[in-house]
A = this chain, B = another copy of it.
Amino acid sequence: MPELRKDPILGRWIIIAKERGKRPTDFIVEQSSSKGGFCPLCPGNEKTTPPEVLSYGDANHMPNTPGWTLRVVPNKYPALVIEGELDKEGEGIYDKMNGIGAHEVIIESPNHDEAFAQLPPLRLIHVLQAFRDRTIDLGRDPRFKYVMVFKNFGKAAGASLEHSHSQLVALPIVPRMVVSEIDGSLSYYKYKERCIFCDIIRQELKLEERVVCQNDYFLTITPYAPRSPFEMWILPKKHNSSYITQSDESFQALAAIFSESMRRLNGCIPNVPYNFVLHAAPLRSEPLEHYHWHFEIMPKLTQIAGFEWGSGFYINPTPPEDAARFLREAKV
């Protein structure tokens, strides 16, 4: 079973994936490996993945057979495992818990070469609703505190499979990054009695210089202090801390702005590798007046090197005002 270990100085948790148990030689081989032609995510190869937990498609298609347009399956090589009791213990001055969690793959399309940004509107809505539906389902398990939804696109951004897919990991603790955002926005709220994200939205809509695109429900901006060139955030205009309580009609608008944002990014830098993540209030949280769910989209264009590791500072060679202008002017 994987193990969760806490750095005693920073309180940062690490997943030790013992099962993967990599030896030095594994890394040497990996550096020179090349990809084969077989795709376990393509229709017809359903038996090579664990059985699906959700699928959309033809009304009369059978589970784990072709006919689906979206499919969610457990990750065959999960970072955390779903079976077992959550057990916390100490090891001298250290703390650990066993690696209970869920790790699922959202196969976004039956077509191997269809990128996220090219999905037809209805199918993109399904992907975004699958994020919601799986989060709701996993949220019923009291062992889990957070479901992290994310996507890796392109080898440089950590994708090991070409076929368009995103992932989610259900975690027994709220991740540090989300805790920091919630704490940071709470400090602001205590002082101002307003949501800092709502204030950001107001200021950005007024200034316009960092606005990439918008519709009635959503706004895409390049944030004021982006870690990466062309980093974008997608925010709901109306305050809401919880992704899973978004109204059904808002998903159409979310799919539209997500698709437009990604096509603008591709218009600037074709086929750019990227990651996106969904940040929202923890599972079973009451509605938070100070926190606001959002997607963060991080193109992989700069190296994270010693300075960034050591300091937590990032160096970004493209001011977000320039990036927003390029994105607005991109051909879509």
Contacts from A to B (Cβ < 8 Å): 3, 5-18, 20-24, 27-28, 79, 91-94, 148, 150-152, 157-159, 167, 169, 171, 175-178, 180-181, 184-185, 188, 196-197, 199-200, 203, 207, 223-227, 229-230, 268-270, 272, 275-279, 296, 298, 301, 303-307, 309-320, 322, 326
Contacts and interface: CB of A to CB of B under 8 A. Distances in A.
Contact of A79 (B268, B307, B318, B322): B307
A184 B8 CA distance: 8
B14 A310 contact: no
A20 B94 CA distance: 43
Contacts of A226: 14
Nearest to A275: B306
Contact of A196 (B5, B15, B93, B148): B93
Contacts of A199: 93
A250 to B, nearest CB: 22
Contacts of A270: 28
A307 B175 CA distance: 10
A150 B306 contact: yes
9 contacts: A5-B225, A7-B223, A13-B225, A14-B225, A21-B319, A21-B322, A157-B306, A158-B304, A159-B305
Q: What are the 10 tightest A-B residue pairs by CB atom distance, in nearest-first order?
A: A158-B305, A277-B310, A150-B306, A175-B311, A20-B317, A275-B306, A158-B303, A176-B312, A177-B312, A24-B268
B92 A22 contact: no
B157 A305 contact: yes
A246 B307 CA distance: 23
A203 B185 CA distance: 38
A90 to B, nearest CB: 11
Contacts of A227: 12, 14
Contact of A310 (B175, B200, B312, B322): B175
A24 B309 contact: no
Given A158-B303, A269-B27, A9 B315 contact: no
